Amino acid sequence: MPHADGVFDYVIAGGGTAGCVLADRLTADGRTRVLLLEAGGSDRNPLIHLPIGFAKLTSGPYDWGLRTVPQKACNDRVIPLAQGKVIGGGGSINAMVFTRGTPDDYDGWATDFGCAGWSFAEIQKYFIRSEDNDRLSAPWHGNGGPLGISDIPDPHPLSRAFVRAAQQFGLPYNGDFNGPSQYGTGIYQTTTKNGRRCSAAIGYLRPAMKRPNLVVRLNAAVSRVVLDGRRAVAVEAIEGVEVRLYRADREVILSGGALASPKILQLSGIGDPVDLAGVGVDVRHGLPGVGKNLHDHCDLDVIYELKQYQSMDRLARVRPATVSAALEYALFRNGPLASTLVEGGAFSFGDKEAKTPDLQFHFLPAAGVEAGIQAGRTGYGCTLNSYFLRPRSRGTVRIASADPTAAPLVDPNFIADPYDLEMSAEGLRQSREIMAQPAMARYIKKEHLAGGGQLRTKDEYLAFARAYGRTAYHPVGTCAMGVSDASVVSPDLRVHGLDALRVVDASVMPRLTSSNTQAATVMIAEKASDMILGIGA
């Protein structure tokens, strides 16, 4: 091997949610030498830390700017796919909604995919160990862990009205979506602490940075894993105009997220021989599952114009409102700026036969918050979005060329399965029914459907889903854990057929959790750290 620019025990490619957890846990003994390589830069920008800053982060300098390939079931639309490009990854730009999914999700990984050790009874301790919950505690929650979890200090009156409306619709009130049942409606808890975002970069990595055995390199994009026979021995990283080589004496760990980890494997010649041949990459290790099984939640938004200009949109437009909110935040770390905007939540059933809720809703007391979502005519409003939690459609991530700087071809294959389409339409139908309840209707002037269309018939609902479905930012599954030929890593997250190479991030989920995905990714990295260190996981 040529001269290495550094020698470590573990080299982690990707400093996002999982990478930051690993960097902390693997260096805790003060001796193990760890290098964390992150393609993005620092998280110094205050907008990242201010909860309301989420509104500015779904596009721009901290997003990779990825797009899907034309989505067949969505009128061939090319859909933006925000993914974090900054230390902390998705955790530095996300909406901070804290949900973990249901025990059935993890039991299903164990029983349906042969992922021994991943049943809920076996992984629950990792959720608990990660958590520092400021309201809830045992047996479902943890206190004193690195990840701050808090209530939104003062939910907006519209969000509280949403929760009442959802009860009028028929959902029970639920004060803890991460307790015995997700079913019902309430205000989300968020990954925040003392009125600030608590990403894994803040909760885990920042305290670990003091350790001399941890090196973090920003703006370092891993382009490939170097193999010596069957063993991963190093990675190559592009840093500005230089290409550097970092040696890993024990293991290389890929934590680039569900869209980048399969890309790095493919660039290294590890993947489906057919895909690699198509782009002229020599096959070093044939593994057909790499980049397959991509799935994501497909989100549908409805915007409502309000009778008065009382929503959080005021903050962006009315100067005295902005000044008073800024003062309140500066003095008390409280008020509207301490809100993540995604406040109201609900889980319900689209398919009455489902064992656990299969629809999730997010209510925002503002309009046009996320990139690409229209704000309506006045620019003042509120938003309810919904998605089907257990999609059956599966897509792919494939490198477009052997050039590591080229974006991958990402095909989530949104709502291609007719069942997914039908359930998405049902989520939309329920959204409108919730918003029509008296508690909410009194505030609403007008529904604003993207494109100005009407929704009366089932066909119109299906057409709306095809025309406006978009990512919920939860891609998973592209380096799936399991024991079948379709899987990429074993239940201990080692790449099948190779030594000293693991994948640890959202890509290893064999199937999406019935929830947002950050907490599950933290749990995966927590368990992985025990497996890597040989601590009975």
Ligand X SMILES: Cc1cc2nc3c(=O)[nH]c(=O)nc-3n(C[C@H](O)[C@H](O)[C@H](O)COP(=O)(O)OP(=O)(O)OC[C@H]3O[C@@H](n4cnc5c(N)ncnc54)[C@H](O)[C@@H]3O)c2cc1C
Can you give the binding site for ligand X, defined by CB under 6 A?
A: 13-19, 37-40, 58, 82-85, 89-91, 93-97, 221-222, 255-257, 260, 264, 473-474, 505-506, 516-519, 521
Query: Minimum CB separation from ligand X for residue 506, in Å?
Result: 3
Could you give the CA distance from residue 56 to residue 369 in angstroms, rounded to a whole number?
8
Task: Give whole-number Cα distances, 53 to 120, 316, 340, in Å.
Answer: 33, 11, 8
Nearest approach, Cβ of residue 525 and ligand X (Å): 7
Contact (Cβ atoms closer than 8 angstroms) between residue 222 and residue 15: no
- Report residue 199 as tokens: 């990403």
Distances (CA, A) of 446 to 361, 383, 514: 20, 12, 31
Q: Which is nearer to ligand X, 209 or 326 (CB)?
A: 209
Rounded Cα distance, 219 and 244, in Å: 12
Percentages helix, strand, coil for the chain (3-state, rounded to 5) are 30, 25, 45
Min dist. Cβ of residue 407 to ligand X (A): 11
Sign of CA dihedral 108, 112, 113, 117: positive
Q: Which among 49, 448, 474, 496 is annotated as catalytic?
A: 474
CB of 265 vs ligand X, minimal distance in Å: 11
Nearer CB in complex with ligand X: 259/439: 259
Nearer to ligand X, 313 or 343 (CB): 343
Instruction: Give yes or no for a contact between 224 and 381, defined as CB atoms under 8 angstroms apart.
Output: no
In the bound state with ligand X, the residue whose beta carbon lies nearer, of 197 and 448, is: 197
Chain-centroid distance, C-alpha 256: 12
Which residues, 6 or more positions from 23, have their beta carbon under 8 angstroms from its beta carbon?
12, 15, 34, 36, 204, 205, 208, 214, 216
Chain residue whose CB lies nearest ligand X: 16
Considering beta carbons, is residue 166 or 260 the nearer one to ligand X?
Answer: 260
Which residue, 216 or 440, has its beta carbon nearer to ligand X?
216
* Distance, CA of 69 to chain centre: 20
Pairing of strands 242-254, 6-13: parallel
The reply to whether 496 belongs to the active site is: no
User: Minimum distance between the CB of residue 466 and ligand X, rounded to whole angstroms?
Assistant: 23
Which CB, 83 or 396, lies closer to ligand X?
A: 83
Could you tell me if 174 and 186 are in contact, meaning their C-beta atoms sit under 8 angstroms apart? Answer: yes
Residue 12's nearest CA partner among 190, 193, 261, 242 is 261
Q: Cβ of residue 362: shortest distance to ligand X, in angstroms? A: 8
Nearest to 214 by CA among 226, 206, 202, 223: 206
The C-alpha atoms of residue 384 and residue 34 are separated, in whole angstroms, by 43
Q: Give the nearest distance from C-beta 264 to ligand X in angstroms.
A: 6
Residues carrying an active site annotation:
474
